[in-house]
Amino acid sequence: MSEAWRCFVAVRLNAALTRRLVTAVEGWGHRPDLAGLRWSAPPDWHLTLAFLGDVAPDRVSRVVERLSEQARGHARMRLEAGGLGGFPSSSRARVAWYGVADPGSELRRLADDVGRAVDLEPDRPFTPHITLARAHGRAVDLRAWLEDAVAPAGILAVDRIELVRSRSNGSPNRYETLAALRLNGGGRSVRRRA
Protein backbone atom coordinates (compact mmCIF):
# COMPACT_ATOMS: atom_id res chain seq x y z
CA MET A 1 0.00 0.00 0.00
CA SER A 2 1.40 3.41 -0.97
CA GLU A 3 1.81 6.31 1.41
CA ALA A 4 -1.22 8.59 1.90
CA TRP A 5 -1.09 12.14 0.57
CA ARG A 6 -2.06 15.13 2.74
CA CYS A 7 -4.53 17.08 0.63
CA PHE A 8 -6.74 20.15 0.75
CA VAL A 9 -9.07 22.01 -1.60
CA ALA A 10 -8.19 25.63 -2.23
CA VAL A 11 -8.69 28.78 -4.25
CA ARG A 12 -5.43 30.30 -5.49
CA LEU A 13 -4.86 34.03 -5.63
CA ASN A 14 -4.89 35.86 -8.94
CA ALA A 15 -1.74 37.73 -10.02
CA ALA A 16 -3.02 41.26 -9.29
CA LEU A 17 -4.00 40.44 -5.71
CA THR A 18 -0.73 38.57 -5.15
CA ARG A 19 1.29 41.61 -6.30
CA ARG A 20 -0.55 43.90 -3.87
CA LEU A 21 -0.01 41.50 -0.99
CA VAL A 22 3.68 40.97 -1.81
CA THR A 23 4.30 44.72 -1.55
CA ALA A 24 2.52 44.90 1.81
CA VAL A 25 4.21 41.82 3.28
CA GLU A 26 7.66 43.11 2.26
CA GLY A 27 7.02 46.15 4.47
CA TRP A 28 5.62 44.14 7.38
CA GLY A 29 8.42 41.59 7.37
CA HIS A 30 10.85 44.08 8.96
CA ARG A 31 8.69 44.95 11.96
CA PRO A 32 10.31 43.88 15.26
CA ASP A 33 6.91 43.05 16.78
CA LEU A 34 6.39 40.46 14.01
CA ALA A 35 9.80 38.79 14.35
CA GLY A 36 8.11 35.67 15.75
CA LEU A 37 6.30 35.04 12.46
CA ARG A 38 7.43 32.88 9.55
CA TRP A 39 5.96 34.45 6.41
CA SER A 40 4.57 32.12 3.75
CA ALA A 41 5.96 32.29 0.22
CA PRO A 42 3.61 34.15 -2.17
CA PRO A 43 3.22 31.16 -4.55
CA ASP A 44 1.83 29.21 -1.58
CA TRP A 45 -0.88 31.74 -0.68
CA HIS A 46 -4.35 30.28 -1.03
CA LEU A 47 -7.78 30.23 0.54
CA THR A 48 -8.58 26.79 1.97
CA LEU A 49 -12.09 25.52 1.30
CA ALA A 50 -11.60 22.09 2.89
CA PHE A 51 -8.75 20.18 4.50
CA LEU A 52 -9.02 16.52 3.55
CA GLY A 53 -6.09 15.18 5.53
CA ASP A 54 -4.59 11.90 4.34
CA VAL A 55 -5.88 10.60 1.00
CA ALA A 56 -4.77 7.32 -0.54
CA PRO A 57 -3.26 8.02 -4.00
CA ASP A 58 -5.62 5.50 -5.61
CA ARG A 59 -8.61 7.52 -4.27
CA VAL A 60 -7.51 10.84 -5.77
CA SER A 61 -9.37 10.31 -9.06
CA ARG A 62 -12.63 9.67 -7.17
CA VAL A 63 -12.09 12.83 -5.10
CA VAL A 64 -11.50 14.78 -8.32
CA GLU A 65 -14.76 13.42 -9.80
CA ARG A 66 -16.74 14.52 -6.74
CA LEU A 67 -15.10 17.95 -6.69
CA SER A 68 -15.75 18.37 -10.42
CA GLU A 69 -19.47 17.79 -9.84
CA GLN A 70 -19.47 20.52 -7.19
CA ALA A 71 -17.45 22.94 -9.32
CA ARG A 72 -19.95 22.63 -12.18
CA GLY A 73 -22.75 23.65 -9.83
CA HIS A 74 -21.18 26.91 -8.68
CA ALA A 75 -20.85 30.22 -10.51
CA ARG A 76 -17.62 32.14 -10.69
CA MET A 77 -17.21 34.87 -8.07
CA ARG A 78 -15.36 38.13 -7.58
CA LEU A 79 -15.00 38.88 -3.90
CA GLU A 80 -13.52 41.89 -2.14
CA ALA A 81 -10.38 41.13 -0.18
CA GLY A 82 -8.82 43.16 2.59
CA GLY A 83 -8.49 43.33 6.32
CA LEU A 84 -6.06 41.56 8.60
CA GLY A 85 -6.40 39.40 11.67
CA GLY A 86 -4.97 36.62 13.76
CA PHE A 87 -6.06 33.18 14.90
CA PRO A 88 -6.97 32.20 17.55
CA SER A 89 -6.86 35.84 18.73
CA SER A 90 -4.94 38.98 17.84
CA SER A 91 -3.16 39.02 21.20
CA ARG A 92 -2.01 35.38 21.05
CA ALA A 93 -1.85 34.64 17.33
CA ARG A 94 -0.49 31.46 15.82
CA VAL A 95 -1.61 32.63 12.35
CA ALA A 96 -1.66 36.08 10.70
CA TRP A 97 -4.23 36.30 7.95
CA TYR A 98 -5.62 38.47 5.16
CA GLY A 99 -9.41 38.45 4.85
CA VAL A 100 -11.92 37.88 2.09
CA ALA A 101 -15.46 39.30 2.27
CA ASP A 102 -18.29 36.89 1.54
CA PRO A 103 -21.43 39.04 1.99
CA GLY A 104 -23.72 36.74 -0.02
CA SER A 105 -22.23 33.57 1.53
CA GLU A 106 -21.47 32.15 -1.93
CA LEU A 107 -17.96 31.18 -0.89
CA ARG A 108 -19.25 29.56 2.31
CA ARG A 109 -21.77 27.55 0.24
CA LEU A 110 -18.97 26.43 -2.07
CA ALA A 111 -16.87 25.39 0.94
CA ASP A 112 -19.84 23.55 2.45
CA ASP A 113 -20.55 21.70 -0.81
CA VAL A 114 -16.89 20.81 -1.27
CA GLY A 115 -16.78 19.49 2.30
CA ARG A 116 -19.88 17.35 1.78
CA ALA A 117 -18.54 16.03 -1.53
CA VAL A 118 -15.48 14.64 0.22
CA ASP A 119 -17.41 13.46 3.30
CA LEU A 120 -16.10 16.02 5.78
CA GLU A 121 -18.02 16.95 8.88
CA PRO A 122 -17.94 20.71 9.54
CA ASP A 123 -15.69 21.19 12.55
CA ARG A 124 -15.68 25.00 12.80
CA PRO A 125 -17.31 28.01 11.15
CA PHE A 126 -15.90 28.93 7.75
CA THR A 127 -13.82 32.14 7.94
CA PRO A 128 -12.53 33.01 4.46
CA HIS A 129 -8.88 34.06 4.72
CA ILE A 130 -5.41 33.68 3.27
CA THR A 131 -2.75 32.63 5.76
CA LEU A 132 0.17 35.04 5.40
CA ALA A 133 2.34 33.87 8.29
CA ARG A 134 2.54 31.39 11.15
CA ALA A 135 4.17 31.77 14.53
CA HIS A 136 7.38 29.77 14.82
CA GLY A 137 7.58 29.17 18.51
CA ARG A 138 5.38 31.11 20.89
CA ALA A 139 2.19 32.90 19.89
CA VAL A 140 2.66 36.49 18.65
CA ASP A 141 0.83 39.63 19.77
CA LEU A 142 -0.49 41.23 16.56
CA ARG A 143 -2.44 44.09 18.14
CA ALA A 144 0.06 46.88 17.32
CA TRP A 145 0.36 45.64 13.73
CA LEU A 146 -3.41 45.47 13.32
CA GLU A 147 -3.79 49.02 14.64
CA ASP A 148 -1.49 50.64 12.10
CA ALA A 149 -1.10 48.23 9.16
CA VAL A 150 -3.00 49.02 6.00
CA ALA A 151 -4.19 45.89 4.22
CA PRO A 152 -4.22 46.29 0.46
CA ALA A 153 -7.69 46.21 -1.06
CA GLY A 154 -8.17 43.80 -3.91
CA ILE A 155 -10.42 41.31 -5.64
CA LEU A 156 -10.19 37.56 -5.24
CA ALA A 157 -11.33 36.06 -8.52
CA VAL A 158 -12.79 32.62 -7.78
CA ASP A 159 -13.08 30.84 -11.11
CA ARG A 160 -11.67 27.43 -10.14
CA ILE A 161 -10.94 25.22 -7.19
CA GLU A 162 -7.81 23.11 -6.84
CA LEU A 163 -7.09 19.81 -5.17
CA VAL A 164 -3.65 20.34 -3.66
CA ARG A 165 -1.17 17.94 -2.13
CA SER A 166 0.97 19.20 0.74
CA ARG A 167 4.44 17.68 0.89
CA SER A 168 6.50 18.25 3.99
CA ASN A 169 10.08 17.13 3.61
CA GLY A 170 11.05 19.16 6.61
CA SER A 171 10.03 22.80 6.46
CA PRO A 172 8.44 24.62 4.68
CA ASN A 173 5.66 22.60 3.03
CA ARG A 174 5.57 22.35 -0.74
CA TYR A 175 2.25 22.40 -2.55
CA GLU A 176 1.48 20.42 -5.69
CA THR A 177 -1.77 20.97 -7.61
CA LEU A 178 -3.29 17.60 -8.45
CA ALA A 179 -6.36 18.97 -10.24
CA ALA A 180 -7.74 22.39 -11.17
CA LEU A 181 -11.51 22.41 -11.64
CA ARG A 182 -13.29 25.35 -13.23
CA LEU A 183 -16.46 26.68 -11.68
CA ASN A 184 -19.73 26.82 -13.62
CA GLY A 185 -19.00 23.98 -16.01
CA GLY A 186 -15.86 25.47 -17.54
CA GLY A 187 -14.22 22.06 -17.95
CA ARG A 188 -11.44 20.47 -15.98
CA SER A 189 -7.72 20.24 -16.11
CA VAL A 190 -6.02 17.41 -14.24
CA ARG A 191 -2.33 17.13 -13.46
CA ARG A 192 -1.02 13.74 -12.51
CA ARG A 193 2.04 13.06 -10.41
CA ALA A 194 5.08 12.38 -12.58
Query: Which residues are catalytic, by number?
Result: 46, 129
Concatenate the DSSP letters of all residues of 9-20 into one string: EEEEPPHHHHHH
Closest CA to 194 of 172, 168, 171, 165: 165
Note every long-range contact of 122-130, with CB atoms under 8 Å and residues 24 or more positions apart, other chains counting. Answer: 128/47, 128/79, 128/99, 128/100, 128/101, 128/102, 129/47, 129/85, 129/97, 129/98, 129/99, 129/100, 130/13, 130/21, 130/45, 130/46, 130/47, 130/81, 130/97, 130/98, 130/99, 130/100
Q: Is the backbone of residue 65 left (phi > 0), alpha (psi -120 to 50) or beta?
A: alpha
